[in-house]
Structure 1
Amino acid sequence: MAPFRRRLVAAVSLASAFALAASACASGSGSSDSAGPTTVTFWSMPYWIGQDSKVKALVEEFNASQGKVKVELTLLEWKDGRDKIKQAVAAGKGPDVWLMNNGLDLDYLKSGALAPLDKLGYTAADTDRFLPLAKVNTYDGKTYGVPLSFDVGVLLYRTDILQQYGFSAPPRTWDELKSTAAAITTKSAAAGKKVNGLQFKGMDDHLNAINSVWESFLCQAGGSLTSPDFKTSTQNTEAGRTAMDYMKSFYADKISPTGTSALNGFISGDIAMFPFNQSVIANIKLGGAKTEGKWAVAPMPAGPKSGCSMVGGQSLVAGAAGKNLAGAGAFMRWLASPERSAQYMEYYGIFPYDLSKVDPAVKATVDGKAKADPNWNAIFEQLGRNTPDLLLQDRHAFQARWDAQKANIVAGVNGQAPVDKALKTIDEAVGQALGKE
């Protein structure tokens, strides 16, 4: 599974590096031979979950489909790919097109390093076809990222385990989530083989995941990451304390374990439920016989204020200093087209277009995939509950927030630190970073 976003503060600021790159006509990418196709460089992580070779195959398909643009792919690893891209862009040696998380990176946006879509051949009619969530890729009135797919937080649950302990349907509220998880943990332990009712992904070795999980529960408690003007961190609030107290109660009441992988435990049958983004389904399916026919997806159980959840996913962006913006735009329009985005549903990426505004054949494909798998009903229900707000907040002081949350949410939830102190520490660290923007 693709891990979560990481950012590196480059030694040279993106703003000054971009100015240098622009004056030098970038890194020489986008070059062309007068007798042959123009070249576009594309750097990407293997975003097709579970099949790393798919991105290479898509690039080869694009190159074979026409003769005007040749894309040269550099496939990076998730562990450091985003850092390598950022370093290259800061050094004036970045690619023409690259993969970025939905919501985009504020450093790139503020520096002017990204080309707005209207400079890449996109029209207002083109961008109007995207779902309203595509607002997460806007900045100062312009759109800079083309969504390949969206992610939303959902509840993954083992149907076999819930049925074994008397539950015919997944929980729909925070109270039901806790009582269901508690019953499974208690009854299974009494029967001699303990199954933990719930685990929060990120309370294990994949600590970055706790950020997205936390965002869902904070949202459901009515909280926000920042003030509306993005200048103040707002987690040490009543909503923040409500969310963290609730999550902490699973460990204080011995319902959830510490240090256990939510995904691995779910596949092995040692964890009954966990909340995370829907694209993790691709990883669950890799469990084969251990999971086949034994699990399902539900919308997030609603909290005291709402049933919203995190929003994520992947986008394509282009460098503003590239020599061949038309070629970059042509490739982006192909790779992020409705036709290709319908294919991304195979790894459970959410289709980013308004179905009423795409070709009928594409709509039929999307409808067919959704009809073939009832889990899409729950995913689409969750999609309808979400807004761009938290992701637009999250781009501000992103790295400081994710680092602070990764340490302090885990400490607050598992009882290593008082809830108030954990939230205060997050606000202090994020507040300092916000003050420097």
Structure 2
Amino acid sequence: MAPLRRRAAVAVSLASAFALAASACASGSGSSGSAGPTTVKFWSMPYWIGQDGKVKELVDEFNASQDKVKVELTLLEWKDGRDKIKQAVAAGKGPDVWLMNNGLDLDYLKSGALTPLDKLGYTAADTGRFLPLAKVNEYEGKMYGVPLSFDVGVLLYRTDILQQYGFTAPPKTWDELKSTAAAITTKSAEAGKKVSGWQFKGMDDHLNAINSVWESFLCQAGGALTTADFKTSTQNTEAGRTAMDYMRSFYTEKISPTGTSALNGFISGDVAMFPFNQSVIANIKLGGAKTEGKWAVAPMPVGPKSGCSMVGGQSLVAGSAGKNPGGAGAFMRWLASPERSARYMEYHGIFPYDLGKVDPAVKATVDGKVKADPNWNAIFEQLGRNTPDLLLQDRHAFQARWDAQKANIVAGVNGQAPVDKALKTIDDLVGQALAKE
């Protein structure tokens, strides 16, 4: 329960800090009368997957492109960057613009710590160009975050391994996924070099990944994270039990080995298939000759109710205490523009704009990237299966849920806890946090 108390304290601090900031701005201290370019402080984690230096390159490019706004970048680490931003904002020393997950953080939204986009120079026509999934950044009728790119859960598979064991196409349903994985695991062991047909990312050394993976399978079973009013956790349901029983069967039937790294095993050829968001492609490509020409992407296998999956990705937000909303908005419109988002496709971030509403030159760039890499067809097919619903639910009691799932989904799937108990524990812990909102 200590994490819940700390989270509540941060929310109170955010509310207090921004009440004071609003008062200061109302009295006129929020304007900037200094000569020279407006300074905008930008704090970010290295969201360009696989190339940490790219964010600085982009900021330098923006600064060189004009002389009205100067952006000062503070690059943080993923392990604690979000916490550092929240602590700084609560102390009244936060940045003007910062990186946040798509879906946004409810503490910031409820405390009034963020500036709505219409106060940053965005028009209805601007926000209307985004894909419908951008609704994940809305709160009480206003949009607060600008998506840089989206993530969706997809199926990554080794084409060489599937072909070796007689499969010419990836599995399309839960039943096909399980039978394909079981055949590869069994036949490879009989041949003297066992290859795991499947691994759930998150049941390995990247424990946090189980949250995104679980969300995909819960969704495919017809489940939800909360009720429609966001007040009750709903994982201990028929859909939750269906999803966990299915995931658990891969371990009880010895198809998957608990603890094997999905990503590392995939790169080395010891894992044939795994699910995760499409931006993991950037990591797979780092495998060089181990993976080149030996893998592909498919939409998620369809479950009992649908083929949906998790939705994620990154957005930009601006603090409501910032003294230069015009400068912050100008930088955000540049960094999250269609032109830049087309470049983010280089690390397989999903283009967040409606292609029918962007400049023809940008559309041509996106179309060219899709034509050059057929994996994009599968990614965009998966994108079309998803709605904002789960991510809007996930922002409520987010930290409590992700902490509870990391422990209890793994315990339920690997057999350390009964399925009903694991799911009930999640609902109990998340329910306590929801009751405090």
Q: Normalised by the shorter chain, which TM-score bucket?
A: over 0.9
The alpha-carbon deviation at position 2 of structure 1 amounts to 26
| Contact 1:12–1:91 (Cα < 8 Å) also in 2 | no
The alpha-carbon deviation at position 24 of structure 1 amounts to 4.2
| Contact 1:27–1:92 (Cα < 8 Å) also in 2 | no
SS in 2 for 1:223: coil
CA distance in 2, matches of 1:327, 1:241: 49
Deviation string 1:142-183 (CA, Å, 9 cap, x unpaired) is 000000000000000000000000000000000000000000
1:8–1:27 Cα change, 3 Å: farther
1:9–1:262 Cα change, 3 Å: farther
| Contact 2:45–2:81 (Cα < 8 Å) also in 1 | yes
The alpha-carbon deviation at position 366 of structure 1 amounts to 0.3
The alpha-carbon deviation at position 402 of structure 1 amounts to 0.3
Deviation string 1:390-435 (CA, Å, 9 cap, x unpaired) is 0000000000000000000000000000000000000000001000
Which shows bigger deviation, 38-47 or 28-37?
A: 28-37
| Contact 1:172–1:302 (Cα < 8 Å) also in 2 | yes
The alpha-carbon deviation at position 36 of structure 1 amounts to 1.2
1:205–1:387 Cα change, 3 Å: same
1:213–1:7 Cα change, 3 Å: farther
1:124–1:237 Cα change, 3 Å: same
CA distance in 2, matches of 1:354, 1:430: 35
| Contact 2:156–2:275 (Cα < 8 Å) also in 1 | yes
Matches within 5 A, 1:423-434: 423-434=423-434
| Contact 1:27–1:93 (Cα < 8 Å) also in 2 | no
The alpha-carbon deviation at position 205 of structure 1 amounts to 1.9
1:268–1:112 Cα change, 3 Å: same
CA distance in 1, matches of 2:394, 2:308: 15
The alpha-carbon deviation at position 264 of structure 1 amounts to 0.4
The alpha-carbon deviation at position 21 of structure 1 amounts to 3.1
CA distance in 1, matches of 2:3, 2:376: 22
CA distance in 1, matches of 2:35, 2:165: 69
1:189–1:3 Cα change, 3 Å: farther
Which shows bigger deviation, 12-21 or 385-394?
A: 12-21
Alpha carbon RMSD of aligned pairs, Å? 3.0
CA distance in 2, matches of 1:296, 1:5: 44
Q: TM-score, normalised by structure 1?
A: 0.97
Which shows bigger deviation, 27-36 or 151-160?
A: 27-36
CA distance in 1, matches of 2:5, 2:364: 33
Deviation string 1:231-272 (CA, Å, 9 cap, x unpaired) is 000000000000000000000000001111100000000000
1:94–1:352 Cα change, 3 Å: same
| Contact 2:397–2:434 (Cα < 8 Å) also in 1 | yes
| Contact 1:26–1:322 (Cα < 8 Å) also in 2 | no
Deviation string 1:285-333 (CA, Å, 9 cap, x unpaired) is 0000000000000000000000000000000000011100000000000
1:348–1:181 Cα change, 3 Å: same
CA distance in 1, matches of 2:79, 2:292: 29
The alpha-carbon deviation at position 17 of structure 1 amounts to 1.9
The alpha-carbon deviation at position 206 of structure 1 amounts to 1.1
| Contact 1:29–1:96 (Cα < 8 Å) also in 2 | no
1:7–1:368 Cα change, 3 Å: farther
Divergent runs of 4+, >6 A:
1-8, 26-31
| Contact 1:36–1:68 (Cα < 8 Å) also in 2 | yes
The alpha-carbon deviation at position 18 of structure 1 amounts to 1.6
| Contact 1:37–1:69 (Cα < 8 Å) also in 2 | yes
Deviation string 1:89-146 (CA, Å, 9 cap, x unpaired) is 1111110000000000000000000000000000000000000000000000000000
1:211–1:9 Cα change, 3 Å: farther
The alpha-carbon deviation at position 356 of structure 1 amounts to 0.2
SS in 1 for 2:121: coil
1:11–1:358 Cα change, 3 Å: closer
| Contact 1:204–1:262 (Cα < 8 Å) also in 2 | yes
1:143–1:235 Cα change, 3 Å: same
| Contact 1:6–1:399 (Cα < 8 Å) also in 2 | no
Q: TM-score, normalised by structure 2?
A: 0.97
| Contact 1:14–1:107 (Cα < 8 Å) also in 2 | yes
The alpha-carbon deviation at position 14 of structure 1 amounts to 1.3
The alpha-carbon deviation at position 12 of structure 1 amounts to 5.1
Which shows bigger deviation, 21-30 or 347-356?
A: 21-30
CA distance in 2, matches of 1:73, 1:8: 29
CA distance in 2, matches of 1:20, 1:257: 53
2:398 matched residue in structure 1:
398
Matches within 5 A, 1:13-162: 13-25=13-25, 34-162=34-162
Q: Which runs of 5+ in 1 are unaligned?
A: none
SS in 2 for 1:8: helix
| Contact 1:37–1:70 (Cα < 8 Å) also in 2 | yes
Which shows bigger deviation, 31-40 or 128-137?
A: 31-40
The alpha-carbon deviation at position 34 of structure 1 amounts to 3.5
SS in 2 for 1:258: coil
CA distance in 1, matches of 2:52, 2:3: 14
CA distance in 1, matches of 2:72, 2:34: 18
2:187 matched residue in structure 1:
187
| Contact 1:196–1:270 (Cα < 8 Å) also in 2 | yes
Matches within 5 A, 1:165-204: 165-204=165-204
| Contact 1:196–1:256 (Cα < 8 Å) also in 2 | yes
CA distance in 1, matches of 2:253, 2:306: 24
| Contact 1:20–1:92 (Cα < 8 Å) also in 2 | no
1:271–1:403 Cα change, 3 Å: same
